[in-house]
Homo-oligomer: A and B are copies of this chain.
Amino acid sequence: MAVTLKEVAERAGVSRSAVSRTFTEGASVSPKTRAKVEAAANELGYSPNALASSLTTGRTKLIGLVSNNFHNPLFLEVFDLFTRGLQDRGLRPLLVNLSHETDPANSVRMLRQYSVDGVIVASSTLPPSFAEAFRDAGVPVVHSFGRYTTSPHVHVVGIDNIACGRMAAEALIARGHKRVAFMGGPEGATSTQDRARGFFDALASHPEIEASVSYARAYSFDAGREEMARLLQSDPAEAYFGGDDVLSIGAMSAIADKGLRVPQDVGVIGLNDMAMARWQNINLTTIRQPVAEIIEASIDLVVGTIERPDRHPETRLFPCRVIERGTLRPCPT
């Protein structure tokens, strides 16, 4: 079915090597043969088989894009940016949906079978050991939206979740709240753990402020709504740091159902700044995660590691900032 090198070579009256070289960047071909080859290739509609060439070059230009966040609207933006960013560099994303899988062995084996040049693990909930399994298998890897560790074994790109937690606490303090709370995602998610830690760190120097914590069972609307409904049954806090935007939106839905107003009765600050947060009917005050920068850096890093595999593991953290909208009362002036 497909046209091969050999057919082009015969038609152009040259050797197979000549054809191969015409399609290889920086190979030695005279303008004359190149012209002959290109003419023949056009007539036949030839384009080289990337997989066959990968056998000898050792490069497939395939990048495994591994994620378990297929229910978080932020990740639609993430996939959009990753696929575009990779395509712009001539790379192809091979998507792996982890869903409930937590053992990296299968993913590692599968992606090695396809000889991916590198892997990007895009997840804020997977443990660092997941990405490390790829490194151990000799596959260049970066953990995007991953957890910061002081002695990383793999490249990590993301935000400083501890700093974000702190930032959220400070935002609530600055608004004069005396009873605040952190409503996290699942307790096992690394991002939740870190955000909680930063949140309470910042509050440590404010003993006058009462703080509490609870965890939703998932980063989802329903979980946020349920958890907030539960919280509102007893004595709720004045303002909540929701571990994620969707969670916060769910929480706000429970607050509204209870007949309370946001931000007058209960304040909410989210995290992520997904597209939906700025919808006027949601208008969520939140902490913005610079998704585009994180993704750019992740791609740069994986490409860099492909070129120099022994490169030292690096952590790139991007600063977040509070986006003022309507779910937190203004700072007293």
Contacts and interface: CB of A to CB of B under 8 A. Distances in A.
Interface of A: 1-2, 47-52, 54-55, 60, 62, 65, 70-73, 75-76, 79-80, 83-84, 87, 92-97, 99, 109-110, 112-115, 138, 221, 225, 249-250, 252-253, 256-257, 275-276, 279-281
B47 A51 contact: no
Contacts of A51: 51, 54-55, 60, 114-115
Contacts of A73: 73, 76
A197 B40 CA distance: 48
A113 B1 CA distance: 13
User: Which of A75, A76, A279, A280 has the most B CB atoms < 10 Å from its CB?
Assistant: A76
A97 B225 CA distance: 34
Contacts of A80: 70-71, 97, 99
Nearest to A74: B76
Shortest Cβ-Cβ A-B pairs, 3 listed? A70-B80, A83-B97, A253-B281
Contacts of A112: 2, 47
A110 B90 CA distance: 10
Q: How many copies does the complex hold?
A: 2
A77 to B, nearest CB: 8
A249 B279 contact: yes
B113 A84 contact: no
Contacts of A79: 70, 76, 79, 95, 97
A74 B80 CA distance: 14
A64 to B, nearest CB: 10
A63 B134 CA distance: 23
Contacts of A281: 249, 252-253, 256, 281
Given A55-B55, A76-B71, A50 B95 contact: no
Nearest to A137: B45
A121 B99 CA distance: 23
Given A52-B55, A112-B47, A95 B70 contact: no
Contacts of A49: 113, 115
Contacts of A114: 50-51, 62, 92
15 contacts: A2-B138, A48-B113, A50-B113, A51-B55, A62-B114, A70-B83, A71-B76, A72-B76, A75-B76, A83-B96, A87-B97, A94-B94, A253-B281, A256-B281, A257-B280
Contacts of A109: 47
Nearest to A274: B73
Contact of A97 (B84, B115, B253): B84
A112 to B, nearest CB: 6
Given A76-B75, A138-B1, A65 B253 contact: no
A95 B256 contact: no
Given A72-B76, A221-B279, A281-B281, 12 more contacts: A1-B138, A47-B113, A65-B95, A70-B83, A71-B80, A73-B73, A76-B79, A80-B99, A83-B97, A249-B279, A250-B279, A256-B281
